[in-house]
Chains A and B, each alone.
Chain A
Amino acid sequence: MRPLKASIAAPTRGQRLRYRLKVALREPTTTIGILAAALFAYLIVVPIISMLSDAMRVQFGDERRIKQDVGELTWYYIDRVFLSRISHDLFWEPLINTLSVAAGAITLSMLVGGTLAWLLSRTDMFGRRWFATALIVPYMLPAWTFALAWTTLFKNRTVGGQPGWLESLGFSPPDWLSYGQLPVTIILALHYSPFVILLFGNALRRFDSQLEDSARILGASRLTVASKIIMPLMRPSLMSAMVLIFAKCLGEFGVPYVLGLPVNFDVLATSLYQNISSRQVGVGAVLAGAIMLIGIVTITIDARLMREARRFVTIGSKGSMNRLSPLGILRMPATGFAALMFVLSVGLPIGTLFLSTIMRVPGQFNLGNFTLDYWIGTNLNTVALQTGILLSPDLWNAAWNSLRIVGVASITSGILGLLVGYVVARTPVRPLGTFLRQVTFLPYLVPGIAFAAAYLSLFAVPRGPIPALYGTTLILMLALIADQMPYASRAGIAAMTQLGKEPEEAAQIAGAGWFRRMISIVIPIQKGSLTTGILLPFISGIKGLSLFVVLAVPSTDVLTTYSLRLVDYHYTQAANAVVLIIAGLAYFGALLGQKLTKTNLAQGLGN
C-alpha cells in the first residue's frame, strides 16, 4: 500500500488553540489542577504576602508612635528590628542564641548520631536490628517532652512552683544547668540525632564496598580508605543532615520556650512568639520574614548539596552488600554506648515524666509519696483542675480537638497531595504542573511558627467575603493543611510518577471515563501511599506545637497547646501527663502505620 498523498491544510493558530483547549478541558484533570492552584495560592502564597506587607505598613495602634496613618508604607518595623536600640533584644541576641544552639546541637548530634550510624550499619555490634528502631524513637516524641523531663529533674528556685527532683533531694542546680543554652542544646541534639542516624546510616549502607576493595587492592591502608574514599563520598549526606537539623532548630519553639523563658534566653522563634502575643504585629511580621529568609537560604543550600550528592551516586550493586567490621574487644562497650544513648534519649525522659505524674513531692521515693491522683483523682486541693487529668473535661476537649483538627487536616492534605500528584503527572498544561509542585513546596521553606504568623496576619480580620477566622478551629485546619502540603504533595507526586500512566491509559482504552478510572484504578492502586500520606502528617501534627501555639485560643486548645498552658500555670504533673499522652499517641500511631503499610515509617519521619 502506498502512502496517501492527500494534501491537508495546515491548521491556523486559532485552530491549534481551539484543538488544544478541547484536549485540555475534555478531562477534569486540568480543571482540578486550576482549582487546586487557586486554593494553594490562597492558602499558601497570600498569607505570606500579607505578612510581608504587614512588615512594611503601619499597623493599627502604632499610628501615633510612627506619626503616619494606618496602612501607609513605613520602614519603622524593619528599623526597629534590625537597627534600633532594642534591636539587640528583639533580633540580634535571639539570632546569636539560635545560631549557637543550632551549632552546638549539630556538633553533638553529629558526634553521637554519626557514631551510632556507623555502629548500626557497618559493625557487628550486638542487637543492631533492635537499636536501629529504638534509636529513632526520640524523633517520634515531641521535642519538648525532653524539655519537661529536664525541668522535672533540674528545676531550681529561680522559678516558683514545685521544685525539681535534684532540688528536693537537697542539691541546688545552678541556672546554667537548669535553663537556657546548655539544656536546649543537649535536648535538640538528642532529638535530632535520629536524623543523622537515618541519613548518614542510609548512605553508609548503600556504599558500594567494591569501591573500598579497589582501594585496598591498590595498597591503601584502612585509614587512607576511610579518609580518601569513604568520607568524601559521605560528605553530602552529612552536610545534608546538618542543614536539615539547622532548619529544624530555626523553627523549634517548645524547647526554648520551656527552658529559656526563666532566664530570658530567647531564640528567634520565642522572640517572634512574644511579639505576636503582645500584639506587635509589624515587628512580628519582620521577625517572621527574617526567619523565613534564613529558612529559604538553608533549604536552598540543602538542595544544592543534594544535587552535588546525586553527581556521585554510587549505584548499589552486589558490592553494596552490607559488610561489617568486627569490633573485637570493643563489641561490648559499643553496645553499651548505644544502650546508654537509648536510656538517655528515651528511657530517662519518659521514665522521669511518668514518675513525676505519680509522685506528690518530686524526687521522694518512699511508697507513701506515690499517688494516682494526678491521673484519676477527684476533689484535689488546687485552684483549677480539681480532678486528675484523665477526669478533666478540658483534656478530653483538647484531645477531641487534636484528633478532629489534625485528623481532618491530614486526610484533606493526603487527598490533596494525591490530587496534586495526579495533576502534576498528567496535565498536558505543563506550567500548571510546575506551579502546583512549587507552590505546595513553599511551606517547607517557612518554619511553622513564621507560617502561623502569616496566617494570623491574613485571617485575624475579615477580608472580603471571608470572616475573621482567628479563634476558630477552621484556621488551625487550614494552616495545618498548608503546612503539611510539602510532604503530602511530594508523596503524591512520587506515587503517581512511580505508577506511570500506563495502567490508567489501559483502563481508558478499555472504555473507562475519568471518574471510573479514579475509583477503579488510581485510588485502589495508591491505597498504600494514601494511607502513609495521611498517617505521617497525622503523627507530626499530633506532636506539633509551633503552628498551634500562635493560632490556638483556649477554646480551640489541642493537646500540645493545652499542655503548654498547664506548664505556664505550673500544673507540672498534669502537663507532664498530657505530654506522655501525646508521646504515646505519636509513637503508637507510627507503629500502627508501620504495621498497616508494611514499611519502615521511621525513614519517612523526616517530616
Chain B
Amino acid sequence: MPKINLNGVEKNYGGNSANAVADLDLEIGDGEFMCLLGPSGCGKTTTLRMIAGLEHLTAGEIRVGPRVVDSVVEGVFVPPERREMGLVFQSYALWPHLTIERNTDFGLRLRKMPKAEREQRVDKVMKTLGIEKYRDRYPSQLSGGQQQRVALARMLAVNPEVLLLDEPLSNLDAALRLEMRAELKRLHAEFKTTIVFVTHDQWEAMTLATTIAVMSEGQLQQVGTPNDIYDRPANRFVAQFVGNPPINIIELGEARSELSRLANAYLGSRFAELRDAGSIGIRPEALRLADAERGVAEGALSGQAEVTGILPTGGSWIIELTASGEKLFMTTHQSPEIEVGEAVTWWAKPKALHVFDKAGQRLEAADRLMRPTKLH
C-alpha cells in the first residue's frame, strides 16, 4: 500500500517566476527509502516541505495513506503539527535554549506522555544514536555530527510513520558522512519508517535509497531503483547528472564532428531503423581500449584517439582521450599500460550504448535492438 501519494502537485512562489514544482505525480511506498535527487533549485526541497505541510500547494493534492492531507480542489489543508511526520533540517534547527534531553523529549511532552514512559523512550532513542552522555548539554556545546544525531533523535522519539530528511548530511565532513549513512540505513531497517530523503549527492542517493526520484527544474525526470537510474537513464539529463566522471555524449548529425560521423555510420550500418536517434551516451567504465591480445569486440562502436591525460584516483584511473578535438573520458581499474601522447583504438559494446532521441529522451527501440537479453 502506498504511504504517500502526490497527485498533480504544483508549486509557484508567485510573481512571474517559473513553477518551482510542476505537475508532480509521485508515489512513495510504505517502508520505502525514497531519495529525491537533483541539482540545487530543482524543487526537491520544496517537494519535501510540501509533504511536511510547511509549504502550501498551488495545485494538486497530497495523500498520506487513505487520508487527504492537502488538496487545493477540496480545500483541505492539514497543518504540519497534525501530520505526524518527522523532519530533519539541513541546519538541524535544534532549539538553542533547550538541553539535548529537552530537545529530544519536546514532542513527547506535547503528546502528554506519562513521565516514566517518556523517559524510557528518550533513553532508548538517545542510546540508539549514542548521545546519552550529552543529555544535559546545550546544542551549541556539541559538534556537527552530534547535533545531527540529536536532530534525528528528536524526530525518532515520537516514532513518526514518515521521516523526512532535508540534506541532513551535507554539513558533515566526509568520514562522518559515511558513518551517518550507515547509521541511517540501520535506522531504516530498525524502525521500519518510510523515509523521504532529499540530496544533491548522487552517491548518497545510490547507497541509501530503495527508490530514487530524479528531479530537474521542477519536473520529475525518472523514478526507479538506483540500478535503473544508472543503467537505464530515462533521458539525457538523468544520464548526465548521475555518474562520475560524467557520461560521454556523442551528438549525432553534427557534420563537422569526427565522432558524430563515426557514430552515425555505425548506427546506419547496423541499426538502420533507429532514424530518430539524436545522441549516444557511453559511461566511462564501458569504454575499452584495444590492445595486442584483444582487438575490438565483435559489433562494437570503435574509433581512434590520442591519450591526452592519465589521472590516477587511487585504485582506479581516469583516462582522457581526444579524438579530433573532442574529449572522451574512460575509467579503468587496471593500471593503464599506455602513455600520454600515444594513439589508441577505443571501443564500446552495443549493450553499453545509451541512445537518446532528438528531444533527449531514451530511445526504447534501441534497447530492444542492442540489449535483447536484458528484461525490463
Complex Cα distance, B114 from A42, in Å, reads: 49
Map CB proximity to B onto A520-541 as digits: 1 under 8 Å, 0 otherwise: 1100110100000000000000
In the assembled complex, which residues on chain B have CB atoms less than 8 Å from the CB atom of A500? 91, 93
In the assembled complex, which residues on chain A have CB atoms less than 8 Å from the CB atom of B14? 430
A428 within 8 A of B: yes
Q: Are B223 and A23 in contact (CB under 8 A)?
A: no
Complex Cα distance, B14 from A430, in Å, reads: 10
Chain B nearest CB, measured from A16 CB (Å): 6
The stretch that binds B, out of A201-209, A344-352, A503-511, is A503-511
B360 within 8 A of A: no
In the assembled complex, which residues on chain A have CB atoms less than 8 Å from the CB atom of B52? 505, 509
Q: Which residue of B lies closest to A23 (CB)?
A: B56
Q: Which residue of A lies closest to B60 (CB)?
A: A8
From B25, B85, B93, A503 is in contact (CB under 8 Å) with B93
B75 within 8 A of A: yes
A20 within 8 A of B: yes
In the assembled complex, which residues on chain B have CB atoms less than 8 Å from the CB atom of A310? none
B5 within 8 A of A: yes
Q: Are A428 and B56 in contact (CB under 8 A)?
A: yes
Q: Are B5 and A4 in contact (CB under 8 A)?
A: yes
Q: Are A512 and B89 in contact (CB under 8 A)?
A: no
Chain A nearest CB, measured from B61 CB (Å): 6
Q: Which residue of B lies closest to A513 (CB)?
A: B81
From A7, A10, A505, B54 is in contact (CB under 8 Å) with A505
Chain B nearest CB, measured from A509 CB (Å): 5
Chain A nearest CB, measured from B361 CB (Å): 15
Query: Which chain A residues numbered 472 to 526 have a C-beta less than 8 Å away from chain B?
Result: 500, 502-503, 505-513, 516, 520-521, 524-525
Q: Are B81 and A512 in contact (CB under 8 A)?
A: yes
B246 within 8 A of A: no
* Count of chain B residues near A, Cβ 8 A: 50
Q: Are B7 and A8 in contact (CB under 8 A)?
A: yes
Q: Are A509 and B75 in contact (CB under 8 A)?
A: no
The stretch that binds A, out of B103-111, B115-123, B289-297, B325-333, is B103-111
In the assembled complex, which residues on chain B have CB atoms less than 8 Å from the CB atom of A510? 81, 106-107, 110, 154-155, 158
Complex Cα distance, B75 from A18, in Å, reads: 6
B191 within 8 A of A: no
In the assembled complex, which residues on chain A have CB atoms less than 8 Å from the CB atom of B5? 4
In the assembled complex, which residues on chain A have CB atoms less than 8 Å from the CB atom of B303? none
Q: Which residue of B lies closest to A11 (CB)?
A: B72
Given contacts A6-B7, A19-B77, contact A511 B158 (CB under 8 A): yes
Complex Cα distance, B61 from A16, in Å, reads: 12
In the assembled complex, which residues on chain B have CB atoms less than 8 Å from the CB atom of A11? 59, 72-73
From B8, B56, B83, B96, A19 is in contact (CB under 8 Å) with B56
Q: Which residue of A lies closest to B158 (CB)?
A: A510
B29 within 8 A of A: yes
Complex Cα distance, B7 from A5, in Å, reads: 8
Map CB proximity to A onto B208-220 as digits: 1 under 8 Å, 0 otherwise: 0001000000001
B95 within 8 A of A: yes
Map CB proximity to A onto B14-55 as digits: 1 under 8 Å, 0 otherwise: 100000000001110100100000000000000000001010
Interface centre among B83, B84, B95 (most CB of A within 10 A): B95
Q: Are A7 and B111 in contact (CB under 8 A)?
A: no
Interface centre among A9, A500, A509 (most CB of B within 10 A): A509
Q: Are A509 and B80 in contact (CB under 8 A)?
A: yes
Chain A nearest CB, measured from B376 CB (Å): 12
Q: Which residue of B lies closest to A524 (CB)?
A: B97
Q: Are A8 and B73 in contact (CB under 8 A)?
A: yes
> Number of contact residues on A: which range applies?
35 or more
Q: Are A507 and B72 in contact (CB under 8 A)?
A: no
From A1, A16, A430, A511, B81 is in contact (CB under 8 Å) with A511
Complex Cα distance, B79 from A511, in Å, reads: 9
From B72, B107, B151, A15 is in contact (CB under 8 Å) with B72
A26 within 8 A of B: yes
Chain B nearest CB, measured from A371 CB (Å): 54
In the assembled complex, which residues on chain A have CB atoms less than 8 Å from the CB atom of B7? 4, 6, 8
B86 within 8 A of A: yes
Q: Which residue of B lies closest to A9 (CB)?
A: B73
Given contacts A19-B72, A502-B93, contact A7 B77 (CB under 8 A): no
Q: Which residue of A lies closest to B211 (CB)?
A: A1
Chain B nearest CB, measured from A574 CB (Å): 47
Q: Which residue of A lies closest to B15 (CB)?
A: A430
Given contacts A1-B29, A9-B73, A11-B72, contact A512 B95 (CB under 8 A): no
Complex Cα distance, B269 from A362, in Å, reads: 115
Complex Cα distance, B79 from A26, in Å, reads: 8
Q: Are A3 and B77 in contact (CB under 8 A)?
A: no
In the assembled complex, which residues on chain A have CB atoms less than 8 Å from the CB atom of B56? 19-20, 23, 428
Interface centre among A15, A22, A505, A510 (most CB of B within 10 A): A510
Complex Cα distance, B14 from A511, in Å, reads: 28
In the assembled complex, which residues on chain B have CB atoms less than 8 Å from the CB atom of A520? 106
Interface centre among B8, B54, B75 (most CB of A within 10 A): B75
Complex Cα distance, B91 from A512, in Å, reads: 20
A2 within 8 A of B: yes
Complex Cα distance, B60 from A391, in Å, reads: 74
Q: Are A512 and B25 in contact (CB under 8 A)?
A: no
Q: Are A3 and B223 in contact (CB under 8 A)?
A: yes
26 A/B residue pairs, CB under 8 Å, sorted by A: A1-B29, A1-B32, A1-B223, A3-B220, A8-B7, A8-B73, A15-B72, A16-B58, A19-B77, A22-B75, A23-B56, A23-B77, A503-B95, A505-B52, A505-B93, A506-B151, A506-B154, A507-B95, A508-B54, A508-B80, A509-B54, A509-B87, A510-B110, A510-B154, A511-B110, A511-B158
Q: A4-B25, A524-B97 are in contact. List 10 more A-B contacts (CB 8 A).
A: A2-B223, A7-B8, A19-B57, A26-B77, A428-B56, A500-B91, A505-B80, A510-B158, A521-B95, A527-B97
- Residues of chain A having any CB pair with chain B under 8 Å: 1-11, 15-16, 18-20, 22-23, 26-27, 428, 430, 500, 502-503, 505-513, 516, 520-521, 524-525, 527
